[in-house]
Structure 1
Amino acid sequence: MDGTAFLNTALEHVERLWGIAQGWLLSPAAWSQFGLLLVAYLAALYASRKLHPLLDRWLTPPEGQDSYIARARRFVSMFLPLLLPLLAYVFIGIGENVTRSLFGSGAVIAFGKRVFLFLAVRILVKEIIADPVMKVLGRYIFVPIAGLYALGILDEVMAYLDTTVVPLGNLSFSVLFAIRFVLVASAIFWLGRWSNEQSSQFIKKQDEMRPAMRELIAKTLEIGIFGVAFLLVMNIMGINLTSLAVLTGVIGVGLGFGLQKIASNFISGVILLLEGQATVGDYVELDGGEAGTIIKMTARATILETYDGRWIVVPNEDFITTRVVNYSDSGSANRYEAPFSVSYDTDINKVPAIIEAAVAKHPGVLNDPFPPDCELRGFGDNGVDFAVEFWVEGIDDGRNKFTSDVLFLIWNALKDEGITIPYPQRVVELKTPLTVSMPAT
């Protein structure tokens, strides 16, 4: 069907709809159906105003609850805006049965049902759907389809789209097939993404499992879920998977040449997750100077967050082929030291006990594997050099100020004991005496 034929068909439908409208305006049965529509709408409006507060209170769980039942109640409560059009649809369906039994016709009231169904779809897209992709599909596909259905011309439009063929090289497909493919694929992959999010959240709550194992299971499930989704789309749309053999071969050649880095990073990511030498939450430093906390591990790269909030994307291969320093592997403790000096007139035999007792008061300093240890490091130019070693759980970063806190404790402890911290002093020796000229009298 070409464009001209479709335009003529559309004009014919407009004329037909105009004739139907004129017939409704002059028909007592039609007016009675209009009255039933109005009664059904008012009844639905009254019922929704009474039921909406009750359902809202029942479906809204107490604040702070996060059980599966609470989540299900919140999910169902999202659809409360559909209460009015759905009640109207049900009441109008009852009215349709009455009018068909009395007048043998229910065309007007059936049209009202389709209109309220269109309003329900519009509310669903506008107020309930939050996913950006599904919102765009709903706005430009779901709502127009519901509008065509309400007008009663959906079958004719679908027939026209089915006969409109789009050539693509040796392949060709109809516009209707493309629309169906987009709808089915979007729905299945949206469901797959939702399932993946739910399963990932469940796995990450399993604290008895190693973090690396949790990440590996989550990634495996993600690949499995979207693989099944792809196969479902192909099967539902009737696409023969053997026709993709050539494409698979091309991808294989690409992996062997241009995509070998991507394949290497993917395999390196799997090795990282299996070995667990670096996982989400660890603070690492690479040979190249990149350092930060691992916040995400993808199939291609690992994302580090620095102290200043910047993200560094590091290929997974770098974690396998270069030296990596992990400062927080499996949440182990870390040792730091704080250097300081005291003046030469201090009884240095008392300093270690004073400093170790002061540092041990810090709530973050551990006694295991070792308590604070103050050591004499040397005799400097300006004073006696000491350093206190201490162990803490975590990294001395922007959130944790262990070294700074310990230096404060050292300062206060030395001040309380009357011990002075030296500052640089210089002795200047003059080889020749200074000549002082006296002013003339």
Structure 2
Amino acid sequence: MEQELLSNPSELLELGQSLLGQAEALFYKLLRPWNAYQLAIALGLFLVASLLARAMRPRMHEWMRAREGWPKWRMRILVVTHRRLRMIFFVLAISLVAGVMREVTWPSRSYILVIIANLSTAWLIIVFATRLIANPLLRSLVRYGAWAWVTLRIFGLTGEAQQILDSAAVSVGETRFSLWLLLQAAVMLGVLITVARFISKATTEQIRANEDISPSMQVLAVKFLQVILFGAAFFLGLRLVGVDLTGLAVLSGAIGVGLGFGLQKVVSNLVSGVIILLDKSIKPGDVISLGETFGWINSLGARYVSVVTRDGKEYLIPNEDLITGQVVNWSHTNDFVRLDIFFGTAYGDDPHKVRQLAIDAAKSVERVLSFKPPVCHIVGFGDSSVDYILRFWIRDPTGGLTNIRGNVYLALWDAFQEHGVSIPFPQREVRMLEDPVGHAEVGHAGKEAHPGA
């Protein structure tokens, strides 16, 4: 690695002297009498803009509150405009005054006003443009960096600044990395990634609003679009600043081999996620059960699937588990689900009557489907009861399964109580045998029987 920082001190000294001379000349210009009233005019216009903004903000706020149903991007523009009303009024006023003075008087009499107008206009445009950047830290860096560059350009110092940044460099082989190159790369990448994010967000909203595309294909299309846009922004940004991508391709290949061995599980989950999206086996909104986990799919991620249970817990299940494990999708091909419940009645009750009561009780529950009528069958003769199975259909498994079973059981209880059908339960009879001495006799199991047991 060859270091080139401060490689030519004489050039840097000349640049420093040039910048110092220009700053001194600008300072003497500000001391001239006709520049003092220009600063006073700018200060007066700022005070007028402040008063106008204070008067307009409440009215604009009330108007914004009445704009219900507007898109988010439009409301964000209104919010930024509401916050920057003073700067907007100031830019309009000082641009108008500077333009008039440039036409009616000498250029030196409006020099300061033109500079202030250009700086204020640049700051206002940068503020609105950087609102597209979601990250606050990146937004601040781009905002102040862009304004600093525009300031240097207005004062004609871009050449000197570029030379200073380019003189601080580090060479790696045949590639030379300077501060100027890194700054260009950061700006290019920031702009391209911001544009890619804006296009991705706008396209995602259109894809999700299209009802002809299935939910799983919507997720796949969105993920594929994001990878293409952000990947293209990254490589295009590096290419625009002159970075050779040949070495990067070789390096990325070597890194890919290493990651293939070290991140097998991660890669497996990524591939499994793509397979899930392609075969449409599950989609957002489906009700699934995997092992002890039962809930509906909240979202499909690149590495995991978010499943929300009835008690509000959110499980992040790796995609590989959904591919290799046995998953029950309660709403895969359709929303119809059959549920079974078991019960028993006493031998003294008429089984024909019991079956009809059970069917009528299930039909009385709201979520039970009538066009797929319930059925009831005898499944066996137990020790103390006749055992039955009651089967019924529902079409909304997302509404829960335990609650519908509980409602059907409650309807059975009410029907049996009303018609005198008894539900037997196990009973045990204990006999107490006493020996001639009067002590309780020990049972065959080796435990002493207690009275009242």
TM-score over 0.5 (shorter chain): yes
CA distance in 2, matches of 1:45, 1:325: 64
- TM superposition shift of 1:165: 1.0
User: Are residues 1:326 and 2:326 paired?
Assistant: no
User: Are residues 1:275 and 2:279 paired?
Assistant: yes
Q: Which amino acid aligns with 2:215?
A: P
* Structure-2 residue corresponding to 1:136: 137
- CA offsets 1:66-87 (integer angstroms, 9 cap, x no match): 5xxx445324313212232133
CA distance in 1, matches of 2:380, 2:318: 44
The secondary structure found in structure 2 opposite 1:371 is coil
The secondary structure found in structure 1 opposite 2:84 is helix
What is the percent sequence identity of the aligned residues?
28
* Structure-2 residue corresponding to 1:29: 34
- Seen in structure 2, the aligned counterparts of structure 1 residues 58 and 238 have a Cα distance that, compared at 3 Å, is farther
- CA offsets 1:63-122 (integer angstroms, 9 cap, x no match): 3x25xxx44532431321223213312321222234444243133223433553576479
User: Are residues 1:365 and 2:378 paired?
Assistant: no
The secondary structure found in structure 2 opposite 1:401 is helix
* Structure-2 residue corresponding to 1:207: 211
Normalised TM-score (structure 1): 0.80
- Seen in structure 2, the aligned counterparts of structure 1 residues 436 and 337 have a Cα distance that, compared at 3 Å, is farther
- Seen in structure 2, the aligned counterparts of structure 1 residues 215 and 73 have a Cα distance that, compared at 3 Å, is closer
- CA offsets 1:192-249 (integer angstroms, 9 cap, x no match): 2333233223222333333322223223322332233234323432334444331343
* Structure-2 residue corresponding to 1:74: 75
The secondary structure found in structure 1 opposite 2:376 is strand
- Seen in structure 2, the aligned counterparts of structure 1 residues 71 and 290 have a Cα distance that, compared at 3 Å, is closer
CA contact (8 A) 1:121 1:142 kept: no
- TM superposition shift of 1:326: 1.9
CA contact (8 A) 2:335 2:397 kept: no
- CA offsets 1:102-158 (integer angstroms, 9 cap, x no match): 243133223433553576479669xx848552x202323422552575585863444
* Structure-1 residue corresponding to 2:194: 190
CA distance in 2, matches of 1:33, 1:159: 33
- Seen in structure 2, the aligned counterparts of structure 1 residues 32 and 324 have a Cα distance that, compared at 3 Å, is same
- TM superposition shift of 1:360: 1.4
* Structure-2 residue corresponding to 1:337: 340
- TM superposition shift of 1:391: 1.4
- Greater relative contact order structure (CA < 8 Å, 6+ sep): 2
Q: Which amino acid aligns with 1:402?
A: I
* Structure-1 residue corresponding to 2:380: 378
* Structure-1 residue corresponding to 2:147: 146
CA distance in 2, matches of 1:417, 1:110: 96
- CA offsets 1:346-377 (integer angstroms, 9 cap, x no match): 33322222222222122211234x22222323
CA distance in 1, matches of 2:385, 2:157: 92
- CA offsets 1:376-426 (integer angstroms, 9 cap, x no match): 233333433333222112337768721122222222222233333333211
CA distance in 1, matches of 2:349, 2:399: 33
Q: How does 1:95-114 map to 2 (within 5 A)?
A: 95-100=97-102, 101-105=104-108, 106-113=110-117
Q: Which amino acid aligns with 1:365?
A: V
- Seen in structure 2, the aligned counterparts of structure 1 residues 297 and 258 have a Cα distance that, compared at 3 Å, is same
* Structure-1 residue corresponding to 2:46: 41
CA distance in 1, matches of 2:113, 2:95: 8
CA contact (8 A) 2:87 2:124 kept: yes
- TM superposition shift of 1:11: 8.9
Aligned residues: 427
Normalised TM-score (structure 2): 0.78
- Seen in structure 2, the aligned counterparts of structure 1 residues 90 and 202 have a Cα distance that, compared at 3 Å, is same
CA distance in 2, matches of 1:315, 1:40: 61
- Please list every run of 5 or more consecutive structure 2 residues that lacks an aligned counterpart in the other structure: 439-453
* Structure-2 residue corresponding to 1:409: 411
Higher alpha-carbon deviation: 301-310 or 48-57 = 48-57
The secondary structure found in structure 2 opposite 1:364 is coil
Q: Which amino acid aligns with 2:335?
A: S
Higher alpha-carbon deviation: 289-298 or 335-344 = 289-298
CA contact (8 A) 1:360 1:371 kept: yes
User: Are residues 1:164 and 2:175 paired?
Assistant: no
Q: Which amino acid aligns with 1:33?
A: Q
* Structure-1 residue corresponding to 2:236: 232
- Seen in structure 2, the aligned counterparts of structure 1 residues 400 and 36 have a Cα distance that, compared at 3 Å, is farther
CA distance in 2, matches of 1:398, 1:323: 21
- Please list every run of 5 or more consecutive structure 1 residues that lacks an aligned counterpart in the other structure: none
The secondary structure found in structure 2 opposite 1:349 is helix
* Structure-2 residue corresponding to 1:348: 351
